[in-house]
Amino acid sequence: MSARKVLVLNGPNLGRLGSREPDVYGSTSYTGLVQRCTALGAELGFEAEVRETNDEGEMIRWLHEAADGSIPVVLNPGAFTHYSYGMRDAAAQRTAPLIEVHISNPYTREEFRHTSVVAAVASGTIAGFGIGSYLLALRALADEPTG
Protein backbone atom coordinates (compact mmCIF):
# COMPACT_ATOMS: atom_id res chain seq x y z
CA MET A 1 0.00 0.00 0.00
CA SER A 2 1.39 3.39 -0.92
CA ALA A 3 1.70 6.25 1.55
CA ARG A 4 -1.09 8.82 1.79
CA LYS A 5 -0.10 12.11 0.23
CA VAL A 6 -0.06 15.29 2.33
CA LEU A 7 0.68 18.75 0.95
CA VAL A 8 2.67 21.05 3.21
CA LEU A 9 2.08 24.46 1.67
CA ASN A 10 4.00 27.59 2.59
CA GLY A 11 3.25 31.18 1.64
CA PRO A 12 5.44 34.23 1.11
CA ASN A 13 8.93 34.52 2.54
CA LEU A 14 8.95 31.07 4.13
CA GLY A 15 11.59 29.93 1.66
CA ARG A 16 13.90 32.34 3.51
CA LEU A 17 13.72 30.45 6.81
CA GLY A 18 17.02 30.39 8.64
CA SER A 19 18.04 33.82 7.37
CA ARG A 20 14.75 35.69 7.84
CA GLU A 21 14.36 37.16 11.34
CA PRO A 22 15.82 34.16 13.20
CA ASP A 23 14.72 35.70 16.51
CA VAL A 24 11.09 35.24 15.33
CA TYR A 25 11.28 32.25 12.96
CA GLY A 26 14.22 30.30 14.36
CA SER A 27 17.42 29.12 12.75
CA THR A 28 16.10 26.10 10.86
CA SER A 29 16.48 26.64 7.12
CA TYR A 30 13.73 25.94 4.60
CA THR A 31 15.71 22.86 3.53
CA GLY A 32 15.71 21.77 7.18
CA LEU A 33 11.93 22.25 7.34
CA VAL A 34 11.48 20.13 4.22
CA GLN A 35 13.72 17.39 5.63
CA ARG A 36 11.94 17.31 8.99
CA CYS A 37 8.46 17.24 7.42
CA THR A 38 9.30 14.54 4.89
CA ALA A 39 11.05 12.39 7.52
CA LEU A 40 8.21 12.61 10.04
CA GLY A 41 5.67 12.18 7.25
CA ALA A 42 7.33 8.94 6.18
CA GLU A 43 7.42 7.75 9.79
CA LEU A 44 3.67 8.43 10.03
CA GLY A 45 2.88 6.75 6.70
CA PHE A 46 2.60 9.94 4.62
CA GLU A 47 4.26 11.14 1.48
CA ALA A 48 4.70 14.74 2.60
CA GLU A 49 5.27 17.08 -0.34
CA VAL A 50 6.54 20.46 0.86
CA ARG A 51 6.05 23.52 -1.35
CA GLU A 52 6.65 27.27 -0.99
CA THR A 53 5.42 30.20 -3.06
CA ASN A 54 5.40 33.96 -2.98
CA ASP A 55 2.54 33.92 -5.51
CA GLU A 56 -1.04 34.02 -4.27
CA GLY A 57 -2.42 32.49 -7.49
CA GLU A 58 -0.08 29.53 -7.24
CA MET A 59 -1.17 28.92 -3.64
CA ILE A 60 -4.81 28.97 -4.74
CA ARG A 61 -4.05 26.45 -7.52
CA TRP A 62 -2.35 24.15 -4.99
CA LEU A 63 -5.39 24.34 -2.70
CA HIS A 64 -7.63 23.46 -5.66
CA GLU A 65 -5.34 20.49 -6.40
CA ALA A 66 -5.72 19.34 -2.78
CA ALA A 67 -9.51 19.74 -2.87
CA ASP A 68 -9.81 17.90 -6.20
CA GLY A 69 -7.65 15.02 -4.92
CA SER A 70 -8.99 14.89 -1.33
CA ILE A 71 -5.43 15.51 -0.15
CA PRO A 72 -4.87 16.66 3.46
CA VAL A 73 -3.03 19.98 3.80
CA VAL A 74 -0.73 21.57 6.34
CA LEU A 75 -0.89 25.26 5.43
CA ASN A 76 1.34 28.08 6.57
CA PRO A 77 -0.16 30.95 4.58
CA GLY A 78 2.45 33.46 5.76
CA ALA A 79 1.25 37.01 5.17
CA PHE A 80 -1.64 35.69 3.04
CA THR A 81 -3.18 34.69 6.41
CA HIS A 82 -4.36 38.20 7.09
CA TYR A 83 -5.91 39.35 3.83
CA SER A 84 -6.15 36.72 1.07
CA TYR A 85 -9.85 36.04 0.70
CA GLY A 86 -9.11 34.20 -2.55
CA MET A 87 -6.87 31.78 -0.66
CA ARG A 88 -9.46 31.51 2.12
CA ASP A 89 -12.17 30.64 -0.43
CA ALA A 90 -9.90 28.00 -1.98
CA ALA A 91 -9.18 26.54 1.47
CA ALA A 92 -12.94 26.45 2.18
CA GLN A 93 -13.32 24.00 -0.72
CA ARG A 94 -11.25 21.40 1.11
CA THR A 95 -12.35 17.78 0.93
CA ALA A 96 -9.83 16.54 3.50
CA PRO A 97 -8.43 18.01 6.73
CA LEU A 98 -6.57 21.32 6.44
CA ILE A 99 -4.47 22.46 9.38
CA GLU A 100 -3.28 26.07 9.51
CA VAL A 101 0.17 26.43 11.06
CA HIS A 102 2.34 29.33 12.12
CA ILE A 103 5.90 29.22 13.36
CA SER A 104 5.40 32.15 15.73
CA ASN A 105 2.32 32.95 17.78
CA PRO A 106 0.51 35.66 15.79
CA TYR A 107 -1.23 36.92 18.95
CA THR A 108 2.09 37.94 20.49
CA ARG A 109 3.00 40.02 17.45
CA GLU A 110 1.71 43.10 15.65
CA GLU A 111 -2.05 43.62 15.85
CA PHE A 112 -2.60 43.13 12.11
CA ARG A 113 -1.34 39.54 12.55
CA HIS A 114 -4.11 38.73 15.03
CA THR A 115 -6.67 38.11 12.26
CA SER A 116 -6.62 34.97 10.14
CA VAL A 117 -9.04 34.74 7.24
CA VAL A 118 -8.19 31.02 7.00
CA ALA A 119 -8.88 29.91 10.57
CA ALA A 120 -12.65 29.70 10.17
CA VAL A 121 -12.38 27.20 7.29
CA ALA A 122 -9.46 25.15 8.67
CA SER A 123 -9.84 21.93 10.65
CA GLY A 124 -7.62 23.53 13.28
CA THR A 125 -4.74 25.91 13.88
CA ILE A 126 -1.36 25.23 15.49
CA ALA A 127 0.88 28.21 16.22
CA GLY A 128 3.83 29.29 18.28
CA PHE A 129 5.88 26.09 18.38
CA GLY A 130 8.47 27.01 15.78
CA ILE A 131 9.06 24.31 13.16
CA GLY A 132 7.37 22.00 15.67
CA SER A 133 4.02 23.51 14.60
CA TYR A 134 4.37 21.59 11.31
CA LEU A 135 5.29 18.38 13.10
CA LEU A 136 2.32 18.69 15.46
CA ALA A 137 0.06 19.21 12.43
CA LEU A 138 1.41 16.09 10.71
CA ARG A 139 0.82 14.11 13.90
CA ALA A 140 -2.74 15.46 14.07
CA LEU A 141 -3.34 14.33 10.49
CA ALA A 142 -2.02 10.88 11.35
CA ASP A 143 -4.67 10.66 14.09
CA GLU A 144 -7.47 11.50 11.57
CA PRO A 145 -9.49 8.51 10.40
CA THR A 146 -8.88 7.62 6.74
CA GLY A 147 -11.61 7.66 4.10
CB-neighbour burial class of residue 128 (10 A; exposed 0-12, middle 13-18, buried 19+):
middle
30 given a catalytic annotation: no
76 is in an annotated binding site: yes
The catalytically annotated residue of 85, 102, 107, 114 is 102
- 54 assigned binding-site residue: no
CA distance 143 to 141: 5
Q: Which residue among 25, 83, 85, 107 is the active-site one? A: 25
4 is in an annotated binding site: no
For the question of residue 102 being annotated catalytic, the response is yes
User: Annotated binding residues, as ranges?
Assistant: 76, 82, 89, 103-104, 113
Binding-site residues for substrate sit at 76, 82, 89, 103-104, 113
Catalytic residues: 25, 102
